[in-house]
Amino acid sequence: MYQPSHFEETRTGVLYALLRSHPLATLVTRTAQGIEANHIPLLLRTEGVDRPVLVGHVARANPLWRETDLATPVLAIFQGPQHYISPGWYASKAEHGKVVPTWNYAVVHAKGLLRVHDDATWIRQQMQDLTTQQEAPMPTPWSVEDAPRDYTDRLISAVVGIEIALDSLVGKWKVSQNQPAANQASVQQGLHGLGTDAAATMAGLVEGFGVSGT
């Protein structure tokens, strides 16, 4: 990934937070047929492990677990907040007009070797952990144990667990850090003017990572 230094994010807590808030990863793997990409929710585990791992599961019918080259690192791409940035928002447009559109975004690339877990107990625990994380904000959180055991047992038999022991995490927060303070402020104003949740989220990142941030 192209990584200008002013967009680089290295703080572990910030990287972990994005993985947990946007767990649907694009998992890129190498097979004998070439490069493959699958979209899989992956849960970050940092407690009780020698190093951080990502865990998930795929359908047994998915060739990923059988055809991936387990000796080659895989790449999991986590896409965080993103938004189009209009040149009309830049304060400098009125000064010289030398402005163009761009796109702001936050992403994390995670690399490591893939391991397969064809084990019902392991898979059930992974499902429980991921469900617990995602159900936490619900007024009445649902649990895997709320469904009949024979029903979940059948579903678990139809999937295979995967685990990625992380060798590297690379974060890129491209959120207008390369713009002067006046443009950062006017971009925030333009985003807030759209009145959408996505725009408000990006405005918060521009503010947090601007000249007064990191």
pTM, two decimal places:
0.93
Tell me the CATH class for 5-82+102-178: mainly beta
Please determine, for residue 211, whether its predicted confidence score (pLDDT) is greater than 90.
Answer: no
Please write the tens of the pLDDT for every residue from 22-49: 999 999 999 999 999 999 999 999 998 9
The DSSP element (H or E) to which 132 belongs, if any, is helix 120-135
pLDDT of residue 94: 77
- Are 47 and 54 spatial neighbours (Cβ–Cβ below 8 Å)? no
* CA–CA distances in Å: residue 174 to residues 110, 135, 197, 209: 17, 30, 18, 9
In the chain, what are the domain boundaries? 5-82+102-178
- The mean pLDDT value for 144-151 works out to 96
